[in-house]
Amino acid sequence: MKSEDLPIPGGRDVRATLDTPESDAEAIVVACPPHPRHRGHRGDERLQAVSETLTQSGIACLRFDYGDWDEGYGEREDARNALRWARDRYERVGIFGFSFGGAIATLAAATVDPQPEAVSLLAPASRLTEELDAAAALEDVTGAVQVVYGTRDDTADWKPMVKRAEELGHETVEMSADHFFVGQHGKVADAAGGFLVEALGER
């Protein structure tokens, strides 16, 4: 795996790390970190674990840091700009998000054109504000969707998201874990990374 730091254009100061496999990649996953006011950043261990699984399977991963805090609105735009950057350079695009980043990934996927082909959400927050309702936005996502959640998670309000995903016929994966999936990053990478690899593989 090769890693390169780069800026994401779009009017906000957004920095990213692009992880690429040894061979040329035709697909990429944008990875959204958890809450920036709770030390969420692109170096999050869960994001890195998923990225490693992706690059081992020939798929690039763009892990980014949000710009200045903007109550979720600017952060959604950061994710949309990252998706646009990815779409300009790769044939197939997916998005992954953990916790706050799961809500951001959903909100971005539902409102960017074209939408990503695959969306994987890990312990996603269901709503950031009354307007930024990720569970409701799931209905507008056209790509393949997966929600991975921990049954012992008492940090994120993930239940509405899982319920809506199941109502829409999306894949849900239950794990016996807390919000941070302590000691289970390998299982997280297998679940989320495996789903994204299958959804974005050669066609």
Query: What confidence tens digit (pLDDT) does each residue in 84-114 have?
Result: 999 999 999 999 999 999 999 999 999 999 9
Give the mean model confidence (pLDDT) for residues 102-131: 98
Residue 202 has a pLDDT of: 67
Which residue carries 């496999």 as its tokens?
A: 21
Q: What are phi and psi of 68, to 5 degrees?
A: -55, 140
Both structure tokens of 115: 């939408």
The mean predicted confidence, pLDDT, of the chain is 97
> What CA–CA distance (Å, rounded) separates 198 from 203?
10
% of the chain at pLDDT higher than 70: 99
Once rounded to an integer, what is the mean pLDDT over residues 117-140?
98
- The yes-or-no verdict on residue 16 having pLDDT over 70 is yes
Q: Which domains does the chain have, with CATH numbers?
A: 2-200 (3.40.50.1820)
Residue 157 in contact with residue 125, Cβ under 8 Å?
yes
Burial of 156 (0-12, 13-18, 19+ CB in 10 A): buried
How many other CB atoms are found less than 10 A from the CB of residue 87?
A: 18
Q: How far apart are CA 36 and CA 84, in angstroms?
A: 22
Nearest residue to 104 (alpha-carbon basis) of 90, 92, 116 = 116
* DSSP string for 49-77: HHHHHHHHTT-EEEEE---S--TTHHHHH
User: How does pLDDT run across 59-68, given as a tens digit for each residue?
Assistant: 999 999 999 9
Closest C-alpha to 32, from 113, 94, 111: 94
The pLDDT of residue 203: 53
Percent of the chain with pLDDT over 90: 98
Pairing, β 60-64 against β 92-98: unpaired
Q: Give me the pLDDT at residue 201, please.
A: 87
For the beta carbon of residue 27, count every other beta carbon within 10 angstroms.
Answer: 25
If DSSP codes are grouped into helix, strand and coil, which group holds residue 187? helix
Which pLDDT tens digit goes with each residue over 155-196? 999 999 999 999 999 999 999 999 999 999 999 999 999 999
